[in-house]
Amino acid sequence: MSRPEIYVDANADAAAMRAAAETLTLIRRAVALRGRAAVALAGGTTPGVMYRHLAASGRAGAPWDQVDFFFGDERCVPSTSPHSNYAFARRELLDPLGIADTAVRRVETGISPAELAAEAYEACLRGYFGSLAAVFDLILLGVGADGHTASLFPGNTALDEVVRWVVVARAPAAYEVTERVTLTLPVLNQARAVFFLAAGAAKRAAVAGALDTPPAGAQAPAARVRPAGRLAWYLDRAAAGHLAP
């Protein structure tokens, strides 16, 4: 595992623009090397600006027809729900780039109960990567103020899963959607690259908890994402706090 790369920009838009530019470069290199790129999209709202920058790069921005899209996690809601990570990505990134659903492998939240949806998504990943390991070229992640990432929340048993690639996870009751399906830490840590994007002072403590060394006490989920490949954090000054140069 290489040391985390930390990029701090003046504001959220600049951080998102830098993350988008690096994502385009990574996708071009992955496709040049292996013919295709497997990219897991982040949930939440922070990636929205970055998705818009990626979409603005247009069809020429990257070899989009050679990119296979996945999701790091999904809320157990219909794919048309405003809480759906798929719906958000489709609106902000996939539709503007004309990405067909054949290139998008989302969590089938119409399958119930959620455990069957998780099993179905894991079967989808195994069908794509083979059964040895799911090695994404890039996993995009956000971070919550409590240090969660994807749908791996502090104290959640999903954090300790070491065999399965996809599990059901429960967010704290304060969240509007508590039942989720998420990639597990082993999958996040097998990625060739993980890019975190965080903005705003509300994320400062979570960012520090993830990046301060040595990790203080029980590590927050985001602190446990230490991929075999690249780890990069794209931050605005508000989220970076003392990490800003």
Binding site for ligand 6PG (CB under 6 A): 42-46, 72-73, 75, 85, 142-144, 148-151
CA separation for the pair 17, 7 (Å, rounded)? 11
In angstroms, what is the minimal distance from the CB of 32 to ligand 6PG? 29
Query: SS3 for 189?
Result: helix
- Taken in order 187, 227, 46, 206, the sign of the CA dihedral is positive
- CB-nearer residue toward ligand 6PG: 149 or 190: 149
Dump the DSSP string for 37-80: EEEEEP-SSTHHHHHHHHHHT-TTSS-GGGEEEEESEEESS-TT
Nearer to ligand 6PG, 42 or 94 (CB): 42
Closer Cβ to ligand 6PG, 64 or 195, answer by number: 195
C-alpha 93/C-alpha 76 separation (Å) is: 21
When the beta carbons of 31 and 165 are compared against ligand 6PG, the nearer one is 165
Min dist CB 153 to ligand 6PG, Å, is: 9
Taking the complex as a whole, the smallest distance from the CB of residue 141 to ligand 6PG amounts, in Å, to: 6
Instruction: Give the nearer residue to ligand 6PG in terms of CB position, either 151 or 190.
Output: 151
Q: Tell me the C-alpha distance between 55 and 188, whole Å.
A: 25
Cα–Cα dist 218/206, whole Å: 13
19 with 41: CB under 8 angstroms? Answer: no
User: How far, in Å, are 20, 24, 59, 95, 126 from residue 149 at the CA level?
Assistant: 19, 22, 30, 25, 22
Q: What are the two backbone dihedrals, phi and then psi, of residue 130, each rounded to the nearest 5 degrees?
A: 90, 175
> Rounded to an integer, what distance in angstroms lies between the CA atom of residue 78 and that of residue 25?
33
Residue (31 or 167) nearer to ligand 6PG, CB? 167
Which of 149, 115, 130, 134 minimizes the C-alpha distance to 186?
134
Q: Which is nearer to ligand 6PG, 38 or 171 (by Cβ)?
A: 171
